[in-house]
Amino acid sequence: MRLIVLAPLLAAIPGVALAEPLTFDAALLRAAREAPSLKASTSGVDAARSSAVAAGRLPDPTINIGIDNFPVSGPPAFTFQGDSMTMARIGIEQPFPNPAKRRAQRDRAQAEIGIAEAGAAVEAQNVRLETALAWVDLFYAKRRLAQLQVLDQSLGELQATVSARLASGSARPSAALEPDQLRAAVNDRRSELAADVAKAQARLARFTGDPEVDVSGDPPILEVDRAKLVAGLASLPSLQALDASVVAADAETELARADKRPDWRVSTSYGRRDPAYGDMVSVGVSIDLPLFSRRRQDPKIAASASEAERARLLRTAGERELVAALDGDLADHVMHHQRLMNARNTLVPLAKRRAELDMASYAAGKLDLGSALLSTLALAEAEDDALSREADVARDAIRINFTYGEMRP
């Protein structure tokens, strides 16, 4: 059903008349390009990839410059004369962390990339979901607002009938006030729906970047298949983020274990002495000795292993939570669909038939105008409630498919 909104009604809602209409798919594409949070997530992924380039590399070498064996006592104290040992020295030292540590550093850097990418996927999914829901909310808010316009027109026609009866003397004078009273109640409802339009438009503008965004076309018709949804849960961005956290925790554990393996350093230096004596070259190797691992490395390994186990348990809990949330959303979807069918097949037809009968009774002089107007208002409320229920069904289908299904980035 296409939405038709008259110009005066649009003018009453700031920003709507000049908005650029977007279809459902176009709004999702615009949000994917314009949402600042997605650009921020992309920058985070780029940062993690840049950091991974340096992971596992050899540390920078160290240069040493100094004076060795400078006398501070005896006849040559504080001079460079008469001492064969004093020399100016320059040297370089290169650390070599053990290969297991460097490999674990690379694995941890790759895990950080996975976490950043999973976080970006989660944010992209959230942006798509919120954009889709905002689009649907704006669509149905405008449809409900347009429906009140039709009621306004019928009240205008009724006002003309009341005026004719007043002129002929067949209606009491107070009857002229009843259409205005009903119109005032409708105006209150219009104000509420206008606020709903503005709020939905603001939410949609948040992701599309267009402060005057508008909607066009119809919402998508989405089917809900529980078996298919459950089969694809493992590929959900939220679970992939938990998987990446497990990989990162395992990398931290391996890095802690690598501390039990010794690192080593190679150094060399050149010593310049008095010209009367020869210069000297020194070469050396130093090796770390992790001899007290019970109080140093082992506690860190145990802590990292516990964090890894915690990450695995959170992954299991996350999957169970998703299954429970899916079943809950499916139950709501079934309930909302049943309510929609009840409104379409029973409530609206009954309200329409009652309004027709009461208006016919009023025309025949068998019913007062107030009762007839109440039936008209009840019909409008029933039709508005049916649209609200239709919106609930559409929101459920979008939320389920965009959260658990294939309609995700």
Reported as a single tens digit per residue, the pLDDT across 165-182 is 545 554 555 555 566 666
Instruction: Report which secondary-structure segment, H or E, holds 175.
Output: none
Residue 4 has pLDDT above 50, yes or no: no
Pairing of strands 87-96, 21-22: unpaired
And the tokens for 371?
């009762």
Report yes or no: 213 and 35 within 8 Å, Cβ to Cβ.
no
> What pLDDT sits at residue 62?
93
Q: How far is CA 365 from CA 93, 176, 339, 369, 378, in A?
A: 108, 16, 36, 9, 21
pLDDT in tens, 375-384: 777 888 888 8
pLDDT in tens, 251-292: 999 999 998 899 999 999 998 887 778 888 999 999 988 888
Residue 374 has pLDDT above 60, yes or no: yes
Q: Indicate the residue type of 405.
A: G
Q: How many residues does the chain have?
A: 409
The mean predicted confidence, pLDDT, of the chain is 84
Q: Indicate the residue type of 28.
A: L
**At 116, is the secondary structure helix, strand, or coil?**
helix
> What pLDDT sits at residue 128?
94
> Domains of the chain: which residue ranges?
7-71+81-404
> What pLDDT sits at residue 38?
92
Residue 367 has pLDDT above 80, yes or no: no
Residue 330 has pLDDT above 70, yes or no: yes
Residue 239 has pLDDT above 80, yes or no: yes
> What pLDDT sits at residue 292?
83
Tokens 């429906």 identify what position?
147
Q: Phi and psi of 65, rounded to 5°?
A: -130, 130
* Measured distance CA(387)–CA(390) in Å, rounded: 5
**At 361, is the secondary structure helix, strand, or coil?**
helix
Give long-range contacts, CB 8 A cutoff, 24+ apart: 147-156.
147/380, 147/383, 147/384, 147/387, 148/186, 148/189, 148/190, 148/193, 148/380, 148/384, 149/5, 149/6, 149/9, 151/186, 151/376, 151/380, 152/183, 152/186, 154/376, 155/179, 155/182, 155/183, 155/186, 155/376
> What pLDDT sits at residue 53?
93
Q: In the CATH hierarchy, which top-level class contains the domain 7-71+81-404?
A: mainly alpha
> What pLDDT sits at residue 296?
86
> What pLDDT sits at residue 162?
53
pLDDT in tens, 127-139: 999 999 999 999 9
> What pLDDT sits at residue 12?
40
Residue 5 has pLDDT above 60, yes or no: no
DSSP string, 233-271: GGG-HHHHHHHHHHHHHHHHHHHHHHTTSPPEEEEEEEE
And the tokens for 25?
């798919």
pLDDT in tens, 75-130: 777 676 656 778 889 999 999 999 999 999 999 999 999 999 999 999 999 999 99
Number of neighbouring beta carbons within 10 Å of residue 316: 10
